[in-house]
Amino acid sequence: MRLQQEKTTTTRTVQARCVPSGEPIEIPAGTAVTITQALGSSFSVVAGGQLVRIDGADADAIGREVPPPPPTLSKGASIEEVNDLVWATLKTCYDPEIPIDIVELGLVYRCDIEPQEDGRYKVDIDMTLTAPGCGMGEVIANEVADKVLALPAISQVDVQMVFDPPWDRYRLSEAARLQLGM
């Protein structure tokens, strides 16, 4: 769901990442910001004319509640249950500039789940970006890895950024196309 832009002021100094470069930036307490996107577990805000991404763990700095964690799954779950939950978790990861999750954007090329001897699962993910030079790639890949690894049934996650084949708008889901008016 798209958020109407909301103006607020930071209540404390907060770390953020510039979009699209991915460069870290510190936003001082008392800075006027405009929240442009509040989806998944992060916030896109404009601070001092710069679009930045603030992690959900720092939501209090902009007067918001920390987003809920992804759904959980118990050890011993079937591979089908794990697959469904991993894909549901991937749908909680968003591009900071586009209000559509990475699955609907067509950024996830492969997601393989392999049972391990301890009853948990290893997940291998190949994903791409809408633009190969986007500095947010590592940030998004780390978010994907952290969220999937946080699932109790998962013991290991490997996220690879791939650019072959290159992403294009034809990889968007029908729902994403409708949302973007395409």
Q: Answer whether residue 74 shows pLDDT above 90.
A: no
20-37 as b/e: b if 16+ CB within 10 A: bebeeeebeeebebebbb
Rounded CA-CA distance 162/118 in Å is 30
Rounded CA-CA distance 114/132 in Å is 28
Q: Answer whether residue 2 shows pLDDT above 50.
A: no
Of residues 180 and 101, which shows the higher confidence score?
101
Q: Answer whether residue 145 shows pLDDT above 80.
A: yes
1 domain-assigned = no
Taking residues 102-121, what's their average pLDDT?
Answer: 94
74 domain-assigned = no
Q: Answer whether residue 131 shows pLDDT above 80.
A: yes
**Does 93 lie in the same domain as 52?**
no
Tally of domains within the chain: 2
72 domain-assigned = no
pLDDT score, position 1: 41
Taking residues 79-95, what's their average pLDDT?
Answer: 92
For position 17, which CATH number holds? 2.30.30.40
Put residue 37 in one of left, alpha, beta given phi > 0 → left and psi -120 to 50 → alpha: beta
3-59, pLDDT tens digit by residue?
568 899 999 999 999 988 889 999 999 999 999 888 878 898 999 999 999 998 899
Domain assignment of residue 40, given as a range: 6-62
**Does 104 lie in the same domain as 26?**
no
**Does 169 lie in the same domain as 132?**
yes
Model confidence at 66, pLDDT cuts 50, 70, 90, reads: confident
pLDDT score, position 15: 95
Q: What is the mean pLDDT of the chain?
A: 89
Q: Answer whether residue 165 shows pLDDT above 50.
A: yes
Prediction pTM value: 0.79
Quick one: tokens of 48? 């001092």
pLDDT score, position 60: 95
**Does 110 lie in the same domain as 45?**
no
